[in-house]
Amino acid sequence: MKLTKIEHIGIAVKDLSVAIPFYENTLGLKCYAIEEVAEQKVRTAFFLVGDTKIELLESTDPEGPIGKFIEKKGEGVQHIAFAVDGVANALAELSEKGVQLIDKAPRKGAEGLNIAFLHPKSTFGVLTELCEKPE
């Protein structure tokens, strides 16, 4: 398994219409895509910083993962995503090493990436995502 870069950092926000202007007008970044991932009950907004993305996550349902995260912890960094060569192989390797997986197999995330999450219990409290561009 080889992690190649930090693909993105996921940040939970209450309201994209408030957060996007901050990232654009105050930090000077450009939002290049807004995408709803219905399965995850989120709307995402993407910014590119060098080779790494910032993914803002707004909940579309209080019962979804971001809705629950914000209720418990408030806004803030929600996950870190590493690019990896081969998510499925990485999951198999990590599972063998005793890492607790949230996703046993890759699934589709925002931007059409194949993604999978590792449980924060196994990663020192940091929800960790692995992702790769599909073939």
Q: Which is nearer to Zn ion, 98 or 134 (CB)?
A: 134
Q: Does 10 interact with Zn ion (rule: CB under 5 A)? A: yes
* Minimum CB distance to Zn ion, residue 55 (Å): 5
CA dist., res. 76 & res. 2, Å (int): 27
Please list, in sequence order, all residues whose beta carbon lies within 8 angstroms of the beta carbon of residue 84, skipping any fewer than 6 positions away: 1, 2, 3, 4, 90, 130, 131, 132
For residue 134, give both structure tokens.
């599909």
Q: Which is nearer to Zn ion, 129 or 132 (CB)?
A: 129
Q: Which is nearer to Zn ion, 37 or 92 (CB)?
A: 37
* Minimum CB distance to Zn ion, residue 117 (Å): 8
Residue 130, Cβ density class (10 Å: 0-12 exposed, 13-18 middle, ≥19 buried): buried
Per CB under 5 A, the list member of 81, 83, 91, 127 interacting with Zn ion is 81
Closest-by-Cβ residue to Zn ion is 10
Stretch that binds Zn ion, among 13-21, 66-74, 76-84, 94-102 (CB under 5 A): 76-84
CA dist., res. 59 & res. 66, Å (int): 5
Residues interacting with Zn ion, by CB under 5 A?
A: 10, 81, 129
